[in-house]
Structure 1
């Protein structure tokens, strides 16, 4: 029984990963961190609440207990920048999205500490994804993986201006079939704005597990937090959330239905 993540098993060939949903930071790490870090402001807030309908659809869900500040589960452990030329956070972030330091000066994690975190947190989460997808593939023959994220609508470090509401990423069409993207593009997600493979094309999880030639279709959704929160606070707006959840349900149902197509 791993204590660093929660995995809920469903009964269809679909898995939702929420790699930035966790908020905990172990005492051994937090004592070296700044007050900014203690507030975990860059959390993908309320992912589990937004997708609370997924379990009733028979979808499996995996989410970490620990914050992305401990280790970013959507980064490659070799440190490769997912978006060459663009500003990005590290495997073990040392600054927040607004460039505030996350560690007391001189207390940043060294190589040994980063390797420890890989072993304790990164490897178990990814092994669980691999095992779950393999089991689904063996049973159903075709699998869909959704990597679910959210972010502030304005983050100058990463993009100019205001982000579209629904940001779908298929790594420029390489992580899932064109047929699936076409079905998503046909959805009526109005009044929300949408883009496919814009600023967010898919992180390590989408890139690492999507293999449409082998019938494993991976897709990332980066949802603007303005659709369900009172930005820039971390307050969940029930009225906003209920409206956007109608569109999220349609989207997720589309993915679930796709697992049934032969």
Structure 2
């Protein structure tokens, strides 16, 4: 299986999907323990939730599971949130802090995974962002995520339905941040936060260079907003999902409409 799937569009928005993949090569699956083999920390059904919402959008999707290697982590292994509980480049625990490996990978194995999975995903994402920016003068990366709404190991209380991350406004033009925040805040029956517990992962922080015409924003959705239950078998609930999709479509359409008004980049490649 190829590590990345690409769907090319002609619009200014690129969807990143680093955590929807469930592929774990056989030898790696054998090294996981029973808890790890459940793959509980998948961004379940996110590719289905966003499918068809924005004609012309490009999507770049990792097919491998985050337990193989996390495509939204710094390849150096540096923590996204120093001093807080989180999971690493190759997670040793699940989101509840429980071990997931019978035989954890050593440094050589992690380096091999970095080359075989992490690097190809980001090479593809970088290439698509550059293609889109060359066409439009700007590219907007919208990084798609979801997570269980209650995970005491990672955060207190219940996560808002929409968690918007721009690394405190550094990764995109203010117009993008304001527009997305406004739509989420006005979504009846939903809760939202800007740069709360999730301020944007490595992908958002790495590619978000507004001064170069590359804008990045992360959306972390509470899985309670579209799943029938936040537990196996992780059922997609169409009624809830369709209601949420209307708001997500509004966000993506707004981003696409904003692109022509953003400052254009005409300089060195990022």
Common fold by TM > 0.5: yes
Q: Deviations over 1:43-74 (max 9, x none)?
A: 000011100124x5100001111100000000
* Residue from 133, 140, 143 that aligns with 1:144: 140
Moved over 3 A (4+): none
- SS of aligned partner of 1:154: coil
Q: Deviations over 1:11-34 (max 9, x none)?
A: 111100010000110001111111
- SS of aligned partner of 2:224: helix
Aligned length: 258
2:204 matches 1:206: yes
- State the match for 1:93 in structure 2: 91
- State the match for 1:6 in structure 2: 5
Contact 1:152 1:231 in 2 (8 A): no
- State the match for 1:73 in structure 2: 71
User: Structure 1, unaligned stretches of length 5 or more?
Assistant: none
Deviation at 1:40, TM superposition (A): 0.5
TM-score normalised according to structure 2 size: 0.93
- SS of aligned partner of 2:35: helix
2:109 matches 1:113: yes
- State the match for 1:16 in structure 2: 15
2:179 matches 1:183: yes
**Aligned pairs (5 A) from 1:49-60:** 49-54=48-53, 57-60=55-58
- State the match for 2:267 in structure 1: none
Q: What CA distance in whole angstroms lies between the structure 2 residues aligned with 1:6 and 1:138?
A: 21
Q: What CA distance in whole angstroms lies between the structure 2 residues aligned with 1:253 and 1:196?
A: 19
Q: What CA distance in whole angstroms lies between the structure 1 residues aligned with 2:187 and 2:141?
A: 20
Q: What CA distance in whole angstroms lies between the structure 1 residues aligned with 2:245 and 2:134?
A: 31
- State the match for 2:191 in structure 1: 193
User: Structure 2, unaligned stretches of length 5 or more?
Assistant: 263-270
Deviation at 1:141, TM superposition (A): 0.4
Q: In angstroms, what is the RMSD of aligned CA positions?
A: 1.2
Q: What CA distance in whole angstroms lies between the structure 2 residues aligned with 1:241 and 1:185?
A: 20
